[in-house]
Structure 1
Amino acid sequence: MPTEVLHLPAAPLAELDARNISAWFGSRKVLHQVSLTMRAGEITALIGPSGCGKSTFLRTLNRMHELIPSAALAGEVLLDGQDIYEPARTITDARAHIGMVFQKPNPFPAMSIYDNVVSGLKLTNKRASRSRKDDLVEQSLQRAGLWKEVRDRLRQPGGSLSGGQQQRLCIARALAVTPRVLLMDEPCSALDPTSTRVIEQTMMELAHEVTIVIVTHNMQQAQRVSDRCAFFLAAQGTPGEIVESGLTSTVFSTPTDPRTADYVNGRFG
């Protein structure tokens, strides 16, 4: 298969639209007809107690859910109006446009900082000259807020960085393939408050050039960083659903559903 030549100019901002997403693990249904529009150039926060399907929903947005044995899915995920689950589209294609940052930083520990950043190119069938890779590494690390801290040690192992730096390295690695959407699954849950502030600032700066969807259990974080949010809930023995979604300021200040009010005010969860 021919490789794709790397072009660095940023792609136009993308809207992600999930329509009637239901998901199963074997016979257990974990999501029921979830629909949510994640607007271009905004940060959308997915909130709700543990076990309500937030992370599962996030994984459906770049076709990670289907890699789990016994997993099944119904519904559509539209990237600018085109379903990423269409038979003609591959998982690699979906991930080239929709990147992912996980809860626990997962750089390749023995691989250099430099090689960590460019590692996604091979996986997405993109190639670049050495000088172009140099530019890409600098650009990606700058966008992730890490360049000034590591520019003099790019050949050191990624595992030598602190936890917060490793998470920003993972963000840089995701950005290096120029995604149009960036998914983040509790990216600050394992970090100290100082690193959390840096990651949050990075997210808010990136939202001008990439659409971001974040799962978080931190209500203050959701209020600080997101433009819109969606509250997920699963009653005992039932699959997760969205109870309420909208502007973050509205969901937190004047929610329409009493269950939302109880959750955002800390009365359960």
Structure 2
Amino acid sequence: MTDSDLSHAGAVAVDDRPDAAGPHLPGTLEARAVSAWFGDRKVLDRVSLTMPGGQVTALIGPSGCGKSTFLRILNRMHELVASAALAGEVLLDGGDIYDPRVRLTEARARIGMVFQKPNPFPGMSIYDNVTAGLKLTGTRRSRSEQDDIVESCLTRAGLWNEVSDRLKQPGGALSGGQQQRLCIARSLAVRPEVLLMDEPCSALDPTSTNRIEETIRELASDVTIVIVTHNMQQASRVSDRCAFFLASAGTPGRIVEHGQTRAMFSSPQDQRTSDYVNGRFG
């Protein structure tokens, strides 16, 4: 397993974080006038959004409107694409994560990512999947400390009771829903302030989806969560705030409306928002 593989999975950390062993508060993310390009094609236009600490913000909108691109910008994955360009700022608790003085590993440790398709490292056990970030950065923990981290993170991800007696079995042998919760546990092991989720339930059955949603709500008190979802019922169930993205034909994605989820679904200010959340397009 290469450093690049681990980095792409969001399982990176830095050992010299000042709060690496102590409590921390969920971070507030703020995008300011973010525009994005792939080559000559502009895909986002001046998107500004505050994602408050300790809350769940859902990014909704039809396919192709830039939601996932925006999500990847929030932990500097956009820059991995050779043709990608970016304008604007992304602030975590007031500090620009794109400041040249901010190391990529530091940004990724503070802002974790869970992808649409569960991606446990197939050659690693359940236990080693959770501790992968520690290995990557050379962070030294005693065996008992690692045991505590694994139990804590699997418990927070709602998986401990299901796998506690088989931690040495391959992570890839778990069911799809369990694999996704393992990926959540892996992200939590490096103690992020923010957790980004790109359609984490799209490939899961209703039972697994329900368990992931329960996990999201349980985590939200101490980890800021930003989730991309096409499921309007899910957005209404799990999120505190919503942002509705839309891209007209041939134009880049923009935010049409954002605010408290209850208000967005019950009394949206823009007719296009009303049409979308009520299933009239998209």
Counterparts in 2 of 1:1-269, with a 5 A limit? 3-4=15-16, 7-269=20-282
> Displacement, 1:50?
0.1
Q: CA deviation at 1:203?
A: 0.2
Alpha-carbon distance between aligned partners in 1 of 2:137 and 2:193, rounded to the nearest angstrom: 14
| Structure 1 position 128, deviation (Å) | 1.4
2:6 corresponds to: none
- Identity, % of aligned pairs? 72
| Mapped partners of 1:198, 1:108: distance in 2 | 22
> CA separation in 1, counterparts of 2:77 and 2:201?
21
Q: Deviations over 1:104-138 (max 9, x none)?
A: 00000121000000001233453312111111000
Contact 1:185 1:216 in 2 (8 A): yes
Whole-angstrom CA distance in 2 between matches of 1:38 and 1:123: 29
Letter in 1 for 2:258: S
Distance 1:229 1:124, change over 3 A: farther
Q: Which runs of 5+ in 2 are unaligned?
A: 1-13
Secondary structure of residue in 1 paired with 2:131:
helix
Measure, in 2, the Cα distance between the counterparts of 1:249 and 1:125.
44
1:35 partner SS: strand
Q: TM-score, length-normalised on structure 1?
A: 0.97
Please give the TM-score of this superposition, normalised by the length of structure 2.
0.93
Q: Is the 8 A contact 1:63 1:94 kept in 2?
A: yes
**CA shift for structure 1 position 163:** 0.2
Q: Where do 5+ consecutive residues of structure 1 fail to align?
A: none
Deviations 1:167-218 (A, max 9, x none): 0000000000000000000000000000000000000000001000000000
Q: Give the whole-Å Cα distance in 2 for the aligned partners of 1:124 and 1:85.
A: 21
* Cα drift, residue 49 of structure 1: 0.1
Deviations 1:219-257 (A, max 9, x none): 000000000000000000000000000000001110001
Separation in structure 2 between the aligned mates of residue 164 and residue 203 of structure 1, nearest angstrom: 14
Shift of 1:145: 0.3
Residue 3 (structure 1) shift = 4.8
